[in-house]
Amino acid sequence: MDSDNCLDFIAIGAMKSGTTSVHKYLSEHENIFLPPEKEAPFFSDDERYAKGFDAYWGDFFGHIKEGQISGTVTPLYMMNPIVPGRIRETCPDVKLIAVLRDPIERAYSHYHMSVRIKGESRTFNSVVAGQLREENLLNARKRTEYWSDYVVYGEYGRILKDYYSVFPKEQILVLFMNELIDDPNKFMDKIFEFLGVETKKLKNVGKKFHNSKQMGVMPLVAHLFLNTRLRSVGKRMLPEKMRRRVRFWLGLYRSHRIKNVNTEFILSPEVRDELEGVYRKDARMLNELTGQAPYWLKVWQENV
């Protein structure tokens, strides 16, 4: 890297664990600069990574003000084992934040998103049963299939172990989504203190930030510029920042045009027991890494 530019913090995930709210709350702070896009991947994007960090900084952080700290909220960083080493090599002093959710609820939310956006047609029970087969688990841990590997992305202990192996514990903050739901201000105070900025009361507590039912005009623009006839025109006319927004809204547009599928949150007792077994084993690893007992273990026990 040719300059002194470097990120001060990264919220690395987990996906479907309240990271959109975290991004919005962090953006309220006048001493924190984040790109407007929640997803601004560099370390998981091979093409962007090959261009170098300075090019990335110029694209996303050109408007940072003096006195602000810089960061991103990028859940993709808990979905690719090559990322921790890349972050360490580029920004060794960066502070990392992980927000974790009940992994079964997270898997269902991930699945439901894929139903809406990618047209996943299997039931939740059947797809989880298939992914729990030992061979499928092993294969999924080796690759990074964003849309369909619902189970392995809830193995937080396994994933975070790679971060703890290259970063000191003092640079990693692990929080749980139930804290965000129960008391958002207290939850964010922990993050602000970790980042070394003044704590502040939030303006938009309780607001639903990601509502795919409110379509507006952007999905129509996305559809017009990303269909096969106008794709090349849109690529020439729109700057990269606008194309990123268009791709996001296109996903929401498509989410309302898919075929129906039974998306009930149903797991057979056998599949649930097997799934809990995988996650209980992983929770022990997570507890060893963080010194915190995941809240979902207590919830599962109470629901027996």
Helix (H, G, I), strand (E, B) or coil at 113: helix
Q: Which residue has the tokens 């090959």?
A: 50
**Residue of 191, 203, 202 lying closest to 10 (CA atoms):** 191
pLDDT of residue 222: 47
Predicted pLDDT of residue 226: 47
Q: Cite the DSSP H helix spans in 151-230.
A: 156-164, 177-182, 184-195, 218-226
- Cα 216 to the center of its chain, rounded Å: 24
Per-residue pLDDT of the chain (304 residues; tens, 9 = 90+): 445 789 999 999 999 999 999 999 999 999 999 998 877 899 999 999 999 999 999 999 999 999 999 999 999 999 899 999 999 999 999 999 999 999 999 999 999 888 887 778 899 999 999 999 999 999 999 876 788 899 999 999 999 999 999 999 999 999 999 999 999 999 999 999 999 999 988 887 766 655 443 444 444 454 445 444 555 555 566 666 566 555 555 544 444 444 556 778 999 999 999 999 999 999 999 999 999 999 999 999 887 6
pLDDT for 239: 65
Distance CA 213, CA 5 (A): 39
Cα separation, 47 vs 37, in Å, equals 18
Name residue 38's amino acid. K
For position 74, what pLDDT does the model report? 94
What's the CA gap between 292 and 106, in Å, rounded?
A: 19
**149 SS3 class:** coil
pLDDT value of residue 302: 84
Q: Is 141 helix (H, G, I), strand (E, B) or coil?
A: helix
| Cis amide prior to 14 (ω within 30 degrees) | yes
